[in-house]
Each structure stands twice: as structure tokens, then as C-alpha cells.
Structure 1
Amino acid sequence: MTTVAGKPALGSIAARLERLPHSRWHIKVRFLIGAVTFFEAFDQLLAASALPVLMKEWNLSTGQATFAVTSASIGMLLGALAAGWLGDRIGRVRTVALGVAITGLSSLAVALSGGIEMFSLFRFVQGLGIGGVVPVAATYINEIARSDKRGRFVLLYEMIFPAGLAAATLLAVWVIPAFGWRAMFLIGALPVLIAAMLPRHVEESPRWLLSRGRTAEAEAAIARIEAEVARATSEELPAPAPSANPVDEPKGTLMDLFRGRYLRRTSVLAGLWFAAYYVNHGISTWLPSLYTKEFGLDLTTALVFTLLSNVTGLLGTFVMAMLIDRTGRRPALVGAFVGTTLSLGVLALAGATSGGQVALFASCTTFFLYAINAGLYLYSPELYPTFNRAKGAAFGGLWNRCGVILGPVAVGAIIGAGGGLALVFAQLAVMGAVGAVIAWFAVETKGRTLEELNT
């Protein structure tokens, strides 16, 4: 029996996590995992920031430019699949550390590439790391959060992701004109320094350890966490609530994601991820190039307009964090998809006639889109039992990568065929409306423990 401050620490692992007050331990873990997520987001957007310069330097066609920005997305798709399996097999923390190392080393290789072929190859490898880290990191944060405040806890962590996107664009405004695009990818190699720190400073998820039958390790991990929280709060921890001791979660296989009640959850989740990221990357990948090519803006102005969109996205994530535990997951997602559709619809009807107009309505769109994306990183792990949680979240990540790939391809095809910007934004608005309809069928998870949702 483990003890905290000389008293027995009774109850299940879930109950003991549920009774922990917010403390410096939570802040430390959220900071370390958040630093990983920050750089993953930073590295994800580097190609879009560098694309206007690359198109001139290497004289790229629209097709080559599309391939350059989607190569990482293909890697993210495969990385999400592999990481989902690894996260449930070798642990959340070790999987995240491995993905971070791959991301950082690949960024260094991209910086040294001499042509579009090597650039795209190493961006593909970098995508393997990015695609694997983000869903597994979100799964870990979900597993250490209390059910009554899980939405806010997870989404305040998720704000790190749009902050990383904004930082990539902000640095690009200064770094690329002054030092060239390669310097951005050198900065993107910094996560290598974080990879070695995680296993030594972040406890493995006790929920995952227990699901793997590693009961002694789970007990030891939760005891260390309890001791650190007790030291941080200088108070004796409350007893675990009896109502927080659920029946043990069932074990299962990958195919359980597509059977029984999980079939609906998986289908809805796949549709939500696809719609959200189809729209998100259909816009974000091409915005800097649209500003320079379609409206003749200089690179600095184009990057500042793009930065504005990332800042409003950060604000949208914060608003979602403050509201989602009150409104519930389904109303929040439906409302954000409707907001996305209206913003894009207005832009399509207005005809996208100036760079300033596009910047204004694109920024309104990203306010809602980033809120959706953060909400889905909260929602996805909630839907599955611990044994399959990383795989379930990663399967959603697979569909978001399909959207990441097809959104920019569709936009590039419309632009290449001379379809006009109004058509670009109209088809993105339609996809936003599809997402709103799918969100209506989402299962509500507000206020319930992960075990209650899956037993």
C-alpha cells in the first residue's frame, strides 16, 4: 500500500488522480509536454512560411510547391498510425520523446537540403515525428487531468500549439528576409534538446501502466506524483472519492474501435478531424503565397497578415478553453464549425478582392478553426479506453492528415486551373458546413471520468 505524508493512499489509480488538487506538478508536466507541442507546431508551419522564397529560389511550379508542402503531411499521416500503436505499446512519454527526436534531426537535414527533392524527402521524415507526437501528447495530458476541469486543463495546454504556429510566422517575418529560409529550419532542430529530458522529468501515465498490467509500476508512479503534489501544496491530500472508483476498463484490440458503440464514435471523430484540417490547411498553407502572388504584397506584409490569423487562432483556443467545460463538447464544436462556415461564406460572396479583406475574414476563420482543433485534441482521447486510447486518438489524427493533404491540394488545383479565390473559399465553406452537421452527432463527454465513458 502506498502512502502520502504517512497516511495510506487508498482507491483506484483513477480515483487517486481525480482527487489531486492543481499544483506545481501539473504546471511542470504541462510545461514540458507543452514545450514539445510548441516546437511540433513550429516545425509544422515552416514550409508554408518558406514557400514564397522557395518558389523564387528554385523556380518551382504550382505542382512542385504543392508537393513540397504536402510531403510532411503524408509523413504525419503515417506517423500518426505508428505512434498510436507505439503509444499504447511502449508508453506515452517514450513515444513522445522518440517523435521529438525525429522532428528535430529532420529539421536540421531540411536546412541542409540543396533542392526540392531532398527538401521534400526530409520534410516527409519530419512529418513522421510531428504526426506521432501531437496525438500521443494530448492523450497523456488527458490521462492526468481531473474530469471536472479536464476541458480547461487540456485546452490551456493546447494553446501551446497555436502559439507555436504564431511563433513560426513571427520569426519568419524577421528571420527569412534577414538570414534566409534555412535559418528557420535550424531553429526547428532545437527540440532534440528536449527529447532526452522527458523520460527523466515526466512520470509515465499511471493509467497506461495499469492497463498494461504493470500494477507495481503504476502504484509507484502515482505515489511519486502524490508525494510531489503534497509537497507543492503543503497539505495532506484528500481521500479518493468512492464514486471515482469505476469498474475496471475492458481490455480489447484495435478492431474494437470499429465495433459496437465505438463505431459511431470513431466515424464521427474521423469526419470531424477531416473537415477541420481540410479547411485549416487549405487556408494556412497557401495564405502567404496568395498574398504575394494574387495581391502583389511584399513578403513581410504577407507574413504579418498570416501572423494575424495565427494570433486570432490563439484567442479562439483560449475562448474554447474557458467555455467547453460549461457548454459541453458537442455544442462547442457545432458552434465553432458554424462560425467557420459563416466567415468563409462571407469571404466567398465578397469575392476576395484585396489582401486586407482576405486577412480580415481569414483571421475570423482561424479564430473558430483553432478552437475546433484544440477541442478535438481534448475530445479524441476521451472516447476510448486506456488500452486503445492512443490508437483511437491517432486514428483521428490519420483523418486530420488526410485533410491536411487534400485541403492544400484542392486549393492548389483550383488556383492552378484559374478557378478564382471566390471558388477557393466557397468550397472550404461547404466543408465547414459538413463538419457542423457531423458534430451534431457527437457523443457528449463533459464532466465524466475517462473510465466512466468507457466501461
Structure 2
Amino acid sequence: MTTAASSDATTQQEVVARLERLPLSRWHVTVRLVIGVVTFFEAFDQLLIAFSMPEISREWGLSAAGVTTTLTVGSIGMLLGALGAGWMADRIGRVRVIALCVAVTALCSLGMALSTALVPFLILRFVQGLAIGGEVPTAASYISELSRAKGRGRFVLLYELVFPIGLAVGALASAWIIPHLGWRALFLIAAVPGVAAIVVQSKVPESPRWLAERGRTEQALRNVEHIEERVRRSTGQELPAPAPASSIPVSTQRTGMLRELFTGRYRRRTLVVWTIWFVGYLSNYGITSWLPTLYKNVYHLPIGTALWFSTSASVTGVVGCLIAALTIDKLGRRIVLGVGLGLTTVPLLVLAALGAATAPQLAVLSAIVALFNFAVNISLYLYTPELYPTRSRAFGCSMGGVLNRLGLITGPILVGALYAGGTDLSAVFFTIGGITLIGTVVTLLFAEETKGRTLEELSP
């Protein structure tokens, strides 16, 4: 090992040792809130299109194909955004990418609210998708790198809880605002938090783990000192002594990022986590994106009632996420993910057997689906960063985001093709349930447990 490489490795060890000894404090909570506000509104924006769809379809006279295109064009942007932003975040930093994505999301929301035709609306939705797809996995990497091994599951998932809360608030807001003020008002509201980009860039320190791994040792140590001072002020106590730095496993290896995901220990991790991402989001978005339309077209509910029925899935999803956050450090990642997918499968197959005969039946069982499905999906934002080293963590998360977006795209298209304007929904729920069953088996048999270990132990 060269002298420079040895020095970089020593700095990485020191940075990790000092971060791992920090107790949870008001400073950590503040950073989670700042990044959380950003993620909250990204989730808010992501759901608006599903709840606005009945009114947008009516205003612009969309066919079934037009509805499917409008629902999925943002997801295509999210797929490409996740891929590009992960690459950028591992090169220019987590905080810069998050701030850029927030600003673009807000500007596109404003433009969509002012759109008078479908084509410019779709273009803006695609660009907004690029930003949303980039922000979410990058933020997950950043929050994971601030946390220590002990209690990392709860620390990260209580932050990630803002995403399903954003979905729930978006659903509740949509159910009231659309009938009273129209769909454009929602997109205007979603444009307001663009100021958060300024706050993120000025108030949130760059990840010391990332800085040290990139060889920016002086800035890494300055940021650690800054964080230590904020934690010391928050707790009013001196910090505990760090563990011996020499005991921290680090690596100065530099590998092509995509190739590394399929090398050695990472190959199995990548294949398993990609499967869970795809299955979890195909089942989630395939159903939730169509719920307002199904309630209106199949059960002939008024638009207001259809939207309120649709909110049940988002609300119970938040409960499922909270349960995951409070139990994942005790039960472990593999159990929460595998059992969660299994319990997602059961109500889907029950819906298939019953034929979703009534709107209340669909509302109750889809809410149970969301309870467990959301718990799985939020846990992936904890689990995926744990599987990859700092040098490629954001890229690994973003590739998980790519599979997430493939699921988001495939789900609505699959449901639309199976539904095809008919009223027999059994085939829809049987197909989605079969897919989640496959995901359950893969997870329980092949997922690696990561609880209680530092990021460096898991991926030196």
C-alpha cells in the first residue's frame, strides 16, 4: 500500500471510529428533519399524479393508453434519475445532489400546475421524475452514513417514515383539494418547498465517510469536528472515547461501480435486493396508482368518495412503516422483509378469490396489503445502503432505485393490461399475489442479515 493510500485508510478509520461513538442527539434529529422535509415533499409529488388522474383524464379526454402513459412517464424519469444521481453522488457528494434534485422537483411542479396541454405536462413530469428518482436513494445513503451500527435500523427508518407520511398527506390533501380547488392547486402547493434546497446546501454537512473515502481528508476531519461539537452541545456532555481506529476495517480499493455490484460477496446481495425492490414496488404502485380510477369506473363512486376510499391504503401504509421502524433492529432485516412480503401476498390472494366484489371489500383488503407492503418497501432504504461500501454506496442504492422504478412502471402497465376496462379484478390480484409470493421465497432463502454491524464490517 502506498503512503498516500495508507494515510487515506487511517483517516477513514478515524472518521468511522469517531462517528460510531456519537450518541443520538438533537443534532441528529435536526438533520433528519431537514432531509426529511425534502423527502416528504418528494413523496407528496410522487403520489399527486395518481390522485389527480381522474380529473386530468376528464379535462384532456385521455384514453386508457393516455392514462397509463401519464401514470408511468414520471416513473421512467425516476428510473433514469436514480441511475444518474447515484453516479453523481459518489463523485460530487450527497448534499449537492439532494439540493439540486429538490430545486428541480419544485420548478417542475410549478410548471405542471400552469400547463394547459398534455405534452408539456408530460415533459415536465418526466424531468420531475429525474429529480425525485435521484433524491430519494441519495438521501438514504446520506442518512445511513451518519448513523452508528447500534440502533441504525430505528434511526434510519424513523427518518424514512417521512416518505409514507408524505404519501398519506398527499392522499388526504388530494381527497379534499381536488373536489374543491382542482388538481392544479395541488401542484402549486408542491412547488413551495423549493426553498428547502437552499437550507440543505447551507445547513447540512457533507458525509464525512464519503469525504474520507474520496481522499478529502482535511474536510472529512473538519466535518467530523463540526458534528462532534453540535452533538456535544445537544447532549451537554463530553463524548465517549472512540474505539481503537485500527480495529475498523477499511479498503482503498477502487473498482468500476457497476462491475463491483456483481463481484464477490456483492453479487448475491445485488440479485436479492434487486428482486425485493422490483417486487415490492410493482405490487405497491400497480395497485395504489389505479385505486382512484377503479373506485370511479368499476364501482361508480363519486370522485370525492373514490379519493377518500383510496386514502385508506396510504394511511395504513404509514402504520406498517412505523411497525417496521420499531421492530427491525430486534427481528432483523431478513425477517421483516421476508415476512412482510408473505403477509402482503395473503390479502392479494384473498382479493383474487373473492373477486373484489365491492368497494368496501377492496378498501379493507388493499389497506391490509399496504400495511405490510409499505413496511417492506421502507425497510429497503435501510437495507440497501448496508450492503455496499462507501465508494459505491449511493450507486448501489440508485441501482436499487432503478429496479424500484422498473416496478413502478411495470405495475400500472400490468394492472392496466389485466384490467383492460373490464370489471373482473380477480386476474389482477392473483397475478400480483403470485409475484409477491416469489419475492417472499427469494428473500427468506437468500437475503443476508445485516443488523448490529457497522457499514465497514459489512462492506470493507
Q: TM-score, normalised by structure 1?
A: 0.96
1:121 to partner: Cα distance: 1.2
Q: Number of paired residues?
A: 447
Work out whether residues 168 and 315 of structure 2, in 8 Å CA contact, stay in contact via their aligned partners in 1.
yes
Instruction: State the partner residue of 1:252.
Output: 255
Please point out which of 25, 34, 37 is paired with 1:35. Answer: 37
Q: Distance in 2 between matches of 1:118 and 1:409?
A: 22
Work out whether residues 10 and 239 of structure 1, in 8 Å CA contact, stay in contact via their aligned partners in 2.
no
1:136 to partner: Cα distance: 0.4
Q: Relative to 1, partners in 2 of residues 1:107 and 1:391: Cα closer, same or farther, differing over 3 Å?
A: same
Please point out which of 425, 430, 446 is paired with 1:426. Answer: 430
Work out whether residues 75 and 125 of structure 1, in 8 Å CA contact, stay in contact via their aligned partners in 2.
yes
The one-character-per-residue Cα deviations of 1:125-148 (angstroms, maximum 9, x if unpaired) are: 110000000000011010011111
1:450 equivalenced with 2:455 (yes/no): yes
1:213 to partner: Cα distance: 0.2
Q: Relative to 1, partners in 2 of residues 1:11 and 1:253: Cα closer, same or farther, differing over 3 Å?
A: closer
Work out whether residues 18 and 244 of structure 1, in 8 Å CA contact, stay in contact via their aligned partners in 2.
no
Q: Distance in 2 between matches of 1:260 and 1:127?
A: 33
1:351 equivalenced with 2:355 (yes/no): yes
Instruction: State the partner residue of 2:293.
Output: 289
1:10-89 equivalences in 2 (<5 Å): 12-89=14-91
Work out whether residues 12 and 213 of structure 2, in 8 Å CA contact, stay in contact via their aligned partners in 1.
no
Instruction: State the partner residue of 2:149.
Output: 147
| AA matched with 1:428 | I
List, as ranges, runs of 4+ consecutive aligned residues in structure 1 with deviation greater than 3 Å.
none
1:245 to partner: Cα distance: 3.9
1:183 equivalenced with 2:185 (yes/no): yes
RMSD value, Cα: 1.4
Work out whether residues 73 and 401 of structure 1, in 8 Å CA contact, stay in contact via their aligned partners in 2.
yes
1:387 equivalenced with 2:396 (yes/no): no
| AA matched with 2:254 | K
Matched residue of 1:168: which SS?
helix
Instruction: State the partner residue of 2:96.
Output: 94
1:350-369 equivalences in 2 (<5 Å): 350-369=354-373
Please point out which of 264, 268, 273 is paired with 2:272. Answer: 268
| AA matched with 1:360 | V
Q: Which runs of 5+ in 1 are unaligned?
A: 1-8
385-394 or 185-194: bigger deviation: 185-194
1:253 to partner: Cα distance: 2.0
1:173 to partner: Cα distance: 1.4
The one-character-per-residue Cα deviations of 1:295-353 (angstroms, maximum 9, x if unpaired) are: 01111111111111111000000000111101111111110000000011111111101
Instruction: State the partner residue of 1:411.
Output: 415
Instruction: State the partner residue of 1:6.
Output: none
Matched residue of 2:255: which SS?
coil
Instruction: State the partner residue of 2:4.
Output: none
Q: Distance in 2 between matches of 1:148 and 1:343?
A: 34
Instruction: State the partner residue of 1:4.
Output: none
1:432 to partner: Cα distance: 0.8
Instruction: State the partner residue of 2:200.
Output: 198
| AA matched with 2:420 | G
Q: Distance in 1 between matches of 2:334 and 2:156?
A: 16
Work out whether residues 49 and 172 of structure 1, in 8 Å CA contact, stay in contact via their aligned partners in 2.
yes
| AA matched with 1:200 | S
Work out whether residues 279 and 432 of structure 1, in 8 Å CA contact, stay in contact via their aligned partners in 2.
yes
Work out whether residues 173 and 300 of structure 1, in 8 Å CA contact, stay in contact via their aligned partners in 2.
yes
Work out whether residues 298 and 423 of structure 2, in 8 Å CA contact, stay in contact via their aligned partners in 1.
no
Q: Distance in 1 between matches of 2:247 and 2:264?
A: 24
1:117 to partner: Cα distance: 1.7
Work out whether residues 11 and 240 of structure 1, in 8 Å CA contact, stay in contact via their aligned partners in 2.
no
| AA matched with 1:294 | V
| AA matched with 1:444 | E
Q: Distance in 2 between matches of 1:390 and 1:244?
A: 26
Matched residue of 2:191: which SS?
coil
Q: Which runs of 5+ in 2 are unaligned?
A: 1-10
Q: Distance in 2 between matches of 1:393 and 1:81?
A: 9
